[in-house]
Structure 1
């Protein structure tokens, strides 16, 4: 048996976090293509089934990754990410385990772009770095974006608008001793221009077409998940407070607050229950396109938005065998604000189901497909790990 297997088993959450941060949604598709050239490398010796554990653990260097977008708010689309890993996942983890007793991912640099059928497009470059065995985490990048969405406003009728801009995000998190707590700070800047394809809604006439967002934020994380992206048990909580002020480069002043919490319970070896709660709030002065919105599978982004949002969701997973799982989920959310109190705001419901396959046994990584139904339409989503980010 491989001498690194015990250490690799401790990396269950490490590679999955890497997949999200590196933007590698379809890395698994690349694995499937590579499997035709070396099928023995993608066969698990324990059950003889397709498995990508060794490939994901040992890969390093430059990795071109295709990306598929299925978000109903912007339509179908795709793109490409070129990611560079300075070490393989197993090399980086082994080094950090020896130095600090904690596994940490390799450092990653990435550049990429995407476009969707409604004209939304973007280009970005970023870097992720960790120090001292994951005691310090840095994440930063720059992007140019042209995002096209629908505004529903007071009439409930969709009106297409676009927000074009250039921005940056710089974030540092630090672990509190050897605890599950991390605290940190974030700076974000966006120089943007907003425009409607047709006439602007009357309630938005006072809003400027140009806006600069300069934000300083505080973050507190608590994380006891047994796996970063495919948890079977544990809790993840993140609270954040963002302050937008002229002194930070903004052309306006307002605050953004958020609290999200996820909890997973392994009810039995073949049953996993997930619970999610999410609350977001924006103060006076926020541009309409910067307001919080209800985030649920089956509901387009920004369909239900206002000064505050509250969302609850549950998900149940059932194992058919050691590789295949069935998933069912249901959730509800409200967007409310000065014009509509919480009790009077419309409740948006969404539900659906899907499947997962244990694509990398040593990492505990699940991948699959969800189909969701919202109040107005249906949508499907390719999932690598949990749907909750």
Structure 2
């Protein structure tokens, strides 16, 4: 939207104006401080709260140029306790040249001695997207643009019950509103359940095992999270009622003092007599199956696996190579032939050495389907993919 474009322009203009209006000596001192802060390999000796704003940009065929502003606030609820993990609040707002907008505020908070873990998410999308149909064998020629407005609020709390073991509760609300743009398109011409959108409130339980040395740039340890949510039939019309299950497993081991091997497996499943298309699992995105447009393939279930080799050659920077496989599937049995490949590389910049907070740039490739170009994607984001 024009409003979001103006926000980004004003942000950059103010930043440049402040810098250029400073006296020459002041500019030199400011530059010296910035160079020391963002390029020095020294760590602070005191746990500090930090606020780091920066512009963001990415590009893909489905969005065009995506640009905006982001900020990461990091802090400790207990500074005297060296075991307490860093807490973060992640804020981002972006707009694309295809007139798509989205915003988010995501928090991840750890109490003293990591006894409690609190997480929340507030997101809004006004984001027309490409719909290709349902299943793992959809085609580019069937693409239809769907106008979607979507909002999500989630809250969760976990309690440490034993060493590295947590159990907790979660709840959330989601709202969807959809409309097609082509009367003869695959979306408009088919009677998908919940076609115009819907809303739901869900409640769930979760448990996890977490022995990671750090939650930001992990170098060793094991993480596993299993969630199960139930959506009651609170609302009338074509609304979803049923269960969802998700598993996220991660393993990290150092190969040398600078090289880390990271493995990740994800499963998502949704169960019910009628499943709205907008709630189905979507393959791709900035964290799993990089190289695939998120939603290029969607179905009731999704399974992915990926590996990363991370080479942190200096404290401020690391190189990453990644590869994996994944698919979406319905009620049919899953076989190895269903899986699609992905691979790529990226670079990491660590703007906070104490907390190992990073910015990442990745470029991923996916499969090349008959008669179509190879799928690919460019990603600029905060924190690690997993």
Quickly name the TM-score band, shorter chain normalised.
Answer: 0.7 to 0.9
Structure 1 match to 2:297: 304
CA–CA separation in structure 2 for the residues paired with 1:364 and 1:138: 20
TM-score, normalised relative to structure 1:
0.74
**What's the CA shift for 1:384?**
3.9
Q: Secondary structure at the match of 2:84?
A: coil
| Structure 1 residue 356 corresponds to structure 2 residue 345 | no
How does 1:1-389 map onto structure 2 within 5 Å? 37=30, 39-40=32-33, 43=36, 49-51=39-41, 53-54=43-44, 57-59=47-49, 64-70=53-59, 73-81=62-70, 89=75, 92-95=77-80, 97=81, 102-105=83-86, 113-124=93-104, 130-153=110-133, 156=139, 157-177=142-162, 179-199=163-183, 200-247=187-234, 251-284=239-272, 285-295=274-284, 296-321=289-314, 323-338=316-331, 341-343=333-335, 346-375=338-367, 376-388=374-386
CA–CA separation in structure 2 for the residues paired with 1:226 and 1:302: 33
Structure 1 residues 333 and 128: CA distance shift in structure 2, 3 A: closer
**What's the CA shift for 1:321?**
4.9
CA–CA separation in structure 2 for the residues paired with 1:261 and 1:147: 30
CA–CA separation in structure 1 for the residues paired with 2:201 and 2:345: 39
Instruction: Report which stretch shifted further, 63-72 or 355-364.
Output: 63-72
- Per-residue CA deviations over 1:267-316 (Å, capped at 9, x if unaligned) read 22233111111111111322112111223111110112111111111111
TM-score, normalised relative to structure 2:
0.75
CA contact (8 A) 2:192 2:276 kept: no
Instruction: Report which stretch shifted further, 366-375 or 221-230.
Output: 366-375
Alignment coverage as a number of residue pairs? 342
CA–CA separation in structure 2 for the residues paired with 1:161 and 1:127: 30
Q: Secondary structure at the match of 1:363?
A: coil
Structure 2 segments unaligned to the other structure (5+ residues): 1-14, 20-26, 368-373
CA–CA separation in structure 2 for the residues paired with 1:126 and 1:367: 16
CA contact (8 A) 1:168 1:188 kept: yes
Instruction: Report which stretch shifted further, 328-337 or 316-325.
Output: 316-325
CA contact (8 A) 1:52 1:360 kept: no
CA contact (8 A) 2:204 2:227 kept: yes
CA contact (8 A) 2:253 2:262 kept: yes
Instruction: Report which stretch shifted further, 310-319 or 122-131.
Output: 122-131
Structure 1 segments unaligned to the other structure (5+ residues): 1-29
**What's the CA shift for 1:132?**
4.4
**What's the CA shift for 1:372?**
1.3
Q: Secondary structure at the match of 1:230?
A: coil
What is the root-mean-square deviation in Å for CA atoms of aligned residues?
Answer: 3.6
CA–CA separation in structure 2 for the residues paired with 1:165 and 1:140: 17
CA contact (8 A) 2:193 2:277 kept: no
Structure 1 residues 352 and 82: CA distance shift in structure 2, 3 A: closer
Q: Secondary structure at the match of 2:354?
A: helix
CA–CA separation in structure 2 for the residues paired with 1:112 and 1:318: 28
